[in-house]
């Protein structure tokens, strides 16, 4: 690995794992495998939990507070970002008691606009970086992309890993990139997007999760939302297990963010149940779990009203931004 | 902190009646035995009164079954029998919610299991065997295998409806008629199955269901006009039956106890192994004859695995069987609870290290918190005797040969589990295992196409699959 990369301080057992390319490979390939049938069965089983009444209302409010409200389109405009920021501040204008979302997630050139709109609200501005979504560029470009977003005021950076390098076994390269992007982030939190839809196996998801954690990622994130499949429950199970194991070994708490494809309250609650029972209750906070989503928020708002008012009012009663 | 609100299934769905009667010759009739009261082990309240069979009733039922066999069922073409069995399967599906709630009330198992496992698998057994009824000539037992006659069947309380399906479906498919005795503590779902059989318009006498205690079972299996006996239950009773039947010419299959080993090698997928261990011993409160009650884990991963296991077991929710979020329901009876308590006490007395989940337990009803014993040696009672409850004994091993030797070091031999990512090791270990069912990287999976049965004191004969047909054919 490049001598320039300053790896984060790790407990001795793990520090050894990142000493060089060969140790990193040995470590990642020495992780216990993930049995596909087993993890899918467990995810489906936990998916049958029945969350009702007060527990459901709590889950809806918690899920709202965990949303990274996202727009990542070529067609994004400053106006669109401004209205998204307004939605983030007051998700349901008629009900000021609805919690605000965790963050607004945009492309780097939109960060300044979002920061201006959200100053003083406590809502974070997240920006994708590192040649999102493909990650196909040179390291200097990726670092410049990151620096641009951070300088514009982003407090969270969602980077993509180089899946090509990962799949061809160049783990050291992926590690170094994450370390350097983390360095470029400064105080901004780093979410590492694994793009699990391209990693294809659960074993790879586990290895990539550990790789990102070792390199100092504050969050591991499933997907860009530009690749199918995006987030799935079993993949999120594997990642939640990784942060839990990380905590057991280091005492350090890292977060998980599924992104893409989570559109309904029912889905969101299934994810929260997984957070609760696979990682543990201490992960049920926006500091450690986020939903990357655009349409989920409105369904959460509609279901929240249904819970409180006793009837469903439909999509025309929530704002479309 | 996030507390799940209670999410109970409505008990009204069970259509519970104040009293139930036995089913003989197509009719629900009062039995001559002392009526029994069946209770809800989750609350200890009486659910219903059930009439039981007297010796004369057993005789009447066997005669009805014989008549039905001689006149109708035994000579009916398989394609016609299949129609009836398919009808039963569809009716079980149609009434699945009712059956699931009733099963959880009477047995104490969590509704998610009766809903997602017991009832669907029961329906699957009828569907599967209905398909065989007109294809018996292609099952490998000759061109036209004949039925045996009247089958006397005695089933246990751990899967009341599912065991009834396991017994009745192959018997009917092969052309036999049935006299079945459900367990004393769980007669209700079998009697609703009798309603379904009536609804499906089966000819009178083809299936007869006689609730009662062990004496009724003894009368059924020893009745001279019964041609075939199938028993699922304890090894002690199985031995009595085998002794009784010796020399009578009756065909016998026994599915008895077990003390299965779940072997975790150091290259296992650990998180899924933890799931499999949990499923293996805590599914159905551990009231499973093939439960993975002995965990054999390789020393190099033992500590890590046990830590993960304790964390996982702590998340298991014990309580109201009707709550959809309950993972472990009620122990079926006070008697069984006492036995579990006695055996766990012996484990502590013999020096094993006990860990019990700190989960809250309801005030009323029979409950036992999930328990894991570590530092267990082969000599301890908890490593040798079937506990039939949510209690796991953990032993360790250093080499694969030691694992196999310890796994096989039991008079039982019903099931085993092997956890490793190495395919060749799976095949090697499975061949060495003296157990009727070997699961690799999974546990407690049941399918009507897969034969199930044991070695040694776990019994003999197979149920399910093509192999299972043999028990009900004159071959």
Same domain, B157 and B271: no
Residue A321 — very low, low, confident or very high, per pLDDT cuts 50/70/90?
Answer: confident
Sketch the domain layout of chain A as residue ranges. 12-310
Whether A20 sits among the annotated catalytic residues: the reply is no
Task: Name B19's bridge partners.
Answer: B49
Query: Closest residue of A to B272, CA-based?
Result: A38
Same domain, B393 and B428: yes
Same domain, B193 and B281: no
Q: Are the Cβ atoms of B275 and A241 closer than 8 angstroms? A: no
pLDDT score at A320: 86
- Cα separation of A272 and A57, whole Å? 12
Same domain, B78 and B100: yes
Residues of A in contact with B302 (CB under 8 A): none
Give me the percent of chain B exceeding a pLDDT of 90: 100
- pLDDT at position A55 over 60: yes
pLDDT in tens, B267-323: 999 999 999 999 999 999 999 999 999 999 999 999 999 999 999 999 999 999 999
Same domain, B373 and B232: no
pLDDT in tens, A88-141: 999 999 999 999 999 999 999 999 999 999 999 999 999 999 999 999 999 999
- Whether residue B237 lies inside any domain: the answer is yes
Mean pLDDT across chain B: 97
Residues of A in contact with B276 (CB under 8 A): 38
Q: Does B116 touch chain A (CB under 8 A)?
A: yes
- Whether residue B181 lies inside any domain: the answer is yes
Same domain, B299 and B399: yes
Q: What mean pLDDT do residues A200-222 have?
A: 98
Same domain, B291 and B252: no
pLDDT in tens, A273-314: 999 999 999 999 999 999 999 999 999 999 999 999 999 988
Q: Are the Cβ atoms of A50 and B421 closer than 8 angstroms? A: no
Residue A5 — very low, low, confident or very high, per pLDDT cuts 50/70/90?
Answer: low
- pLDDT at position B101 over 90: yes
Q: CATH code at B377?
A: 3.40.309.10
The boundaries of the domain holding residue B315 are 261-440
Size of interface A-B (CB pairs under 8 A): 69
Q: What mean pLDDT do residues A152-168 have?
A: 98
- Whether residue B450 lies inside any domain: the answer is no
Name which of A38, A54, A276 is nearest B5 (Cβ-Cβ). A54
pLDDT score at A313: 86
Name which of B3, B307, B441 is nearest A35 (Cβ-Cβ). B441
**CA distances to A140, B242, B248 from A212, in Å:** 19, 62, 70
DSSP letters for B134-148:
T-GGGTTS-SSPPB-
Name the minimum distance, in Å, from the CA of B270 to any CA of chain A: 6
Q: Are the Cβ atoms of A59 and B2 closer than 8 angstroms? A: yes
Q: Does B77 touch chain A (CB under 8 A)?
A: no
Q: What mean pLDDT do residues A208-230 have?
A: 97
- Whether residue B446 lies inside any domain: the answer is no
Of B251, B166, B76, B227, nearest to B446 (Cα)? B166
- Whether residue B122 lies inside any domain: the answer is yes
Q: Does B7 touch chain A (CB under 8 A)?
A: yes
Torsion from C-alpha of B136, B137, B141, B142, nearest 10 degrees: 160
- Cα separation of A17 and A21, whole Å? 9
- Fold assignment, A12-310: TIM Barrel (3.20.20)
pLDDT in tens, B414-469: 999 999 999 999 999 999 999 999 999 999 999 999 999 999 999 999 999 999 99
Same domain, B239 and B304: no
pLDDT score at A314: 87
Task: Name A215's bridge partners.
Answer: none
- Whether residue B447 lies inside any domain: the answer is no
Q: What mean pLDDT do residues B107-112 have?
A: 98
Q: Are the Cβ atoms of B421 and A56 closer than 8 angstroms? A: no
Query: Closest residue of A to B270, CA-based?
Result: A32
pLDDT score at A3: 41
Q: CATH code at B99?
A: 3.40.605.10
Q: What mean pLDDT do residues A181-200 have?
A: 97
Q: Does B421 touch chain A (CB under 8 A)?
A: yes
Residue B210 — very low, low, confident or very high, per pLDDT cuts 50/70/90?
Answer: very high
Interface of A to B at Cβ within 8 Å reads 32-35, 37-39, 41-42, 48-56, 58-59, 62, 241, 248, 272, 276-277, 281, 284
Q: Residue A314: CA atoms inside 13 Å, Cβ hemisphere, count?
A: 1
Whole-structure pTM value: 0.96
Q: What mean pLDDT do residues A47-71 have?
A: 97
Residues 6+ apart with CB under 8 A from B140: B466
- Cα separation of B263 and B311, whole Å? 20
pLDDT score at A13: 85
**CA distances to B85, B137, B470, B473 from B141, in Å:** 21, 7, 8, 8
Q: What mean pLDDT do residues A46-56 have?
A: 97
- Whether residue B448 lies inside any domain: the answer is no
**What is the tally of helices (H) and strands (E) in chain A?**
14, 8
- Largest Cα span, chain A: 61
- pLDDT at position A9 over 90: no
Residue A1 — very low, low, confident or very high, per pLDDT cuts 50/70/90?
Answer: low
- pLDDT at position A4 over 50: no
pLDDT score at A7: 59
- B234-256: b (≥16 Cβ within 10 Å) or e: ebebbeebbeebeeeebbbbbbb
- pLDDT at position B223 over 80: yes
Same domain, B463 and B428: no
Of A171, A182, A212, nearest to A1 (Cα)? A171
Same domain, B219 and B288: no
pLDDT score at A200: 94
pLDDT in tens, B174-186: 999 999 999 999 9
Name the minimum distance, in Å, from the CA of A10 to any CA of chain B: 20
- pLDDT at position B255 over 60: yes
Residues of B in contact with A49 (CB under 8 A): 4, 324-325
pLDDT score at B253: 98
Same domain, B465 and B430: no
Torsion from C-alpha of A73, A78, A82, A87, nearest 10 degrees: -10
Q: What mean pLDDT do residues B223-246 have?
A: 97
Query: Closest residue of A to B305, CA-based?
Result: A32
- pLDDT at position A63 over 70: yes
Q: Are the Cβ atoms of A55 and B2 closer than 8 angstroms? A: yes
- Whether residue B436 lies inside any domain: the answer is yes
Same domain, B433 and B462: no
Query: Closest residue of B to A51, CA-based?
Result: B4
Q: What mean pLDDT do residues B136-147 have?
A: 97
- pLDDT at position B379 over 50: yes
Of B456, B271, B229, nearest to A248 (Cα)? B271
For chain B, the domain total comes to 2
What ipTM does the predicted assembly reach? 0.95
Mutate to test the interface with B, among A13, A31, A32, A274 (most CBs of B within 10 A): A32
- pLDDT at position B137 over 80: yes
């Amino acid at each position: 690995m490049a001598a320039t990369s300053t790896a984060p301080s790790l407990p001795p057992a793990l520090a050894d794992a990142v000493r060089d390319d060969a140790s990193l490979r040995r470590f990642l390939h020495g992780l216990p495998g993930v049995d596909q049938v087993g993890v899918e069965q467990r995810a489906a089983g936990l998916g049958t939990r029945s969350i009702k009444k007060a527990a459901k209302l709590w889950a809806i409010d918690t899920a709202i507070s965990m949303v990274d409200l996202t727009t990542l389109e070529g067609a994004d405009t400053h106006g669109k970002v401004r209205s998204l920021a307004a939605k983030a501040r007051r998700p349901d204008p008629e009900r000021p008691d609805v919690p605000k979302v965790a963050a607004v997630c945009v492309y780097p050139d939109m960060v300044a606009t979002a920061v201006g709109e959200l100053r003083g609200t406590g809502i974070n501005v997240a920006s994708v970086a590192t040649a999102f979504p493909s990650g196909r560029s040179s390291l200097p470009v990726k670092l410049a992309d990151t620096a641009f977003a951070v300088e514009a005021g982003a407090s969270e950076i969602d980077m993509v890993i180089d899946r090509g390098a990962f799949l061809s076994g160049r783990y050291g390269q992926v590690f170094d990139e994450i370390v350097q992007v983390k360095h470029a982030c400064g105080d901004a939190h780093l979410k590492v997007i694994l793009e699990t839809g391209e990693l294809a196996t659960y074993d790879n998801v586990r290895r990539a999760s550990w790789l990102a954690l070792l390199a100092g990622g504050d969050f591991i994130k499933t997907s860009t939302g530009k690749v199918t499949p995006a987030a799935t429950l079993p993949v999120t199970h594997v990642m939640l297990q990784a942060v839990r194991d990380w905590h057991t070994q280091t005492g350090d708490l890292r977060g998980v963010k599924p992104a893409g494809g989570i559109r309904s309250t029912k889905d969101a609650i299934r994810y929260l149940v997984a957070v609760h029972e696979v990682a543990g209750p201490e992960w049920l906070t926006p500091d450690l779990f986020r939903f990357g989503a655009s349409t989920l928020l409105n369904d959460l708002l509609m279901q929240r009203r249904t819970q409180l008012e006793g009837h469903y009012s439909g999509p025309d009663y929530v704002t479309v931004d | 902190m996030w507390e799940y609100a209670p999410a109970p299934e409505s008990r009204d769905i069970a259509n519970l009646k104040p009293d139930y009667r036995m089913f003989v010759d197509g009719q629900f009739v009062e039995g001559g035995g002392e009526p029994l009261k069946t209770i809800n082990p989750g609350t200890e309240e009486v659910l219903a009164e059930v009439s039981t069979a007297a010796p004369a009733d057993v005789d009447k039922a066997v005669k009805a079954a014989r008549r039905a066999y001689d006149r109708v069922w035994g000579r009916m073409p398989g394609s016609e029998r299949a129609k009836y069995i398919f009808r039963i399967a569809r009716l079980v599906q149609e009434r699945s919610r009712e059956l699931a709630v009733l099963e959880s009330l009477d047995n104490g198992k969590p509704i998610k299991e009766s809903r997602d496992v017991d009832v669907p698998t029961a329906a699957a057994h009828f569907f599967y065997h209905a398909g065989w009824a007109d294809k018996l000539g292609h099952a490998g037992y000759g061109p036209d295998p004949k039925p045996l006659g009247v089958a006397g069947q005695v089933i246990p309380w751990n899967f009341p409806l599912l065991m009834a399906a396991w017994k009745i479906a192959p018997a009917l498919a092969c052309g036999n008629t049935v006299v079945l005795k459900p367990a004393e503590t769980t007669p209700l779902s079998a009697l609703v199955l009798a309603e379904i059989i009536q609804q499906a318009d089966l000819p009178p006498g083809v299936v007869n269901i006689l609730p009662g205690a062990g004496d009724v079972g003894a009368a059924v299996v020893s009745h001279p006009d019964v041609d075939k006996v199938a028993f699922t239950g304890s090894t002690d009773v199985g031995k009595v039956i085998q002794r009784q039947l010796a020399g009578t010419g009756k065909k016998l299959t026994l599915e008895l106890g077990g003390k299965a080993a779940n072997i975790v090698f150091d290259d296992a997928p650990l998180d899924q192994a933890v799931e499999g261990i949990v499923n293996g011993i805590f599914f159905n409160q551990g009231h499973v004859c093939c439960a993975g009650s002995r965990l054999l884990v390789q020393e190099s991963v033992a500590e890590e695995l046990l830590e993960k296991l304790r964390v996982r077991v702590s998340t298991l929710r014990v309580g109201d069987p009707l709550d959809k979020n309950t993972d472990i329901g009620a122990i079926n009876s006070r008697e069984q609870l006492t036995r579990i308590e006695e055996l766990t006490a012996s484990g502590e007395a013999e020096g094993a290290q006990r860990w019990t989940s700190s989960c809250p337990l309801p005030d009323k009803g029979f409950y036992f918190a999930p328990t894991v014993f570590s530092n267990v040696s082969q000599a301890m009672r908890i490593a040798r005797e079937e506990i039939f409850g949510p209690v796991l004994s953990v032993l360790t091993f250093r080499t694969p040969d030691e694992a196999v030797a310890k796994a096989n070091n039991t008079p039982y031999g019903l099931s085993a589990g092997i956890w490793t990512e190495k395919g060749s090791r799976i095949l090697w270990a499975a061949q060495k295992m003296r157990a009727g069912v070997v699961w690799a990287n999974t546990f407690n999976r049941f399918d009507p196409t897969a034969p199930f049965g044991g070695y040694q004191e776990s019994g003999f004969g197979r149920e399910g699959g093509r192999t299972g047909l043999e028990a009900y054919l004159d071959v």
